[in-house]
Copies of this chain bind each other. A is one copy, B any other.
């Protein structure tokens, strides 16, 4: 990943970048992308006319949920790049010289540092997706009732973002040698996914004529 942000590419060119047999952008960026589209759908539904919201207080809550969807979508758009950059830092660390003992030690330390960066990025994606899924409850309860399927599709894409990012956390933790970090990050990823699934169910339960 060099040059312009991924989101500046035309979608066909972004797809071509995912298809090309170079490792970035890969699954981490794709997870962030999925969440960004999901959060955008929630923002769309929050802005539709004829909401269920009654009175200025409910309308404000709905507007706030829509604003959250937009800002998280922006955040996830940035995380598409951050994930690819973090992975390229890992690749660069592996390419460091390993002739002398000093070089070997420096390289091993840079690899570990880079692996943490490549773990923190998908953890950030998981957190952002969770925030959007939590905001979906207000959208489900207060927005135009005819857009229930759009809310649910948004939730599906956000959950794919959560699960995809967790797979990236897991694969990177496999290469990290600090057991305390591995345990803490693994536990955090597990909790984030469980919380996201709970929040998804809670939002779906608030939809009118729930299908879920």
Q: Which residues of A contact B (CB under 8 A)?
A: 6-12, 14-16, 18-23, 26-28, 30-31, 33-34, 36-38, 40-41, 43-44, 47-49, 69-70, 73, 77, 147-150, 152-154, 156-157, 159-160, 163-164, 167-168, 170-171, 211
| A168 nearest in chain B by CB position | B149
| A34 contacts across to B, CB distance below 8 A | 34, 37, 156-157, 160
Contact of A37 among B18, B41, B147, B211 (CB under 8 A): B18
CA distance A169 to B58 in the complex (A): 31
Residues of B within 8 A of A70 (CB): 19
Closest CB in chain B relative to A180 CB, distance in Å: 22
Report the minimal beta-carbon distance from A122 to chain B, rounded to whole angstroms: 10
**Residues A47 and B21 in contact, CB atoms below 8 Å apart:** yes
Contact (Cβ within 8 A) A27 B73: no
Chain B residue nearest to A47 (CB atoms) is B21
Counting chain B CB atoms within 10 Å of each CB, which of A19, A157, A211 scores highest? A19
Residues of B within 8 Å of A15, CB to CB, are 7, 36-37, 40, 73, 77
Taking CB atoms, residues of chain B closer than 8 Å to A22 are 44
Q: How far is the CA of A152 from the CA of B11 in the complex (A)?
A: 22
* Neighbouring B residues of A150 by C-beta, 8 Å: 26-27
Leading 5 A-B pairs by shortest Cβ distance: A27-B153, A21-B47, A160-B160, A153-B164, A18-B40
Known: A15-B73, A156-B164. 13 other contacts (CB 8 A): A6-B11, A16-B40, A19-B70, A21-B48, A27-B149, A30-B41, A30-B157, A34-B37, A149-B167, A153-B167, A153-B168, A156-B160, A170-B211
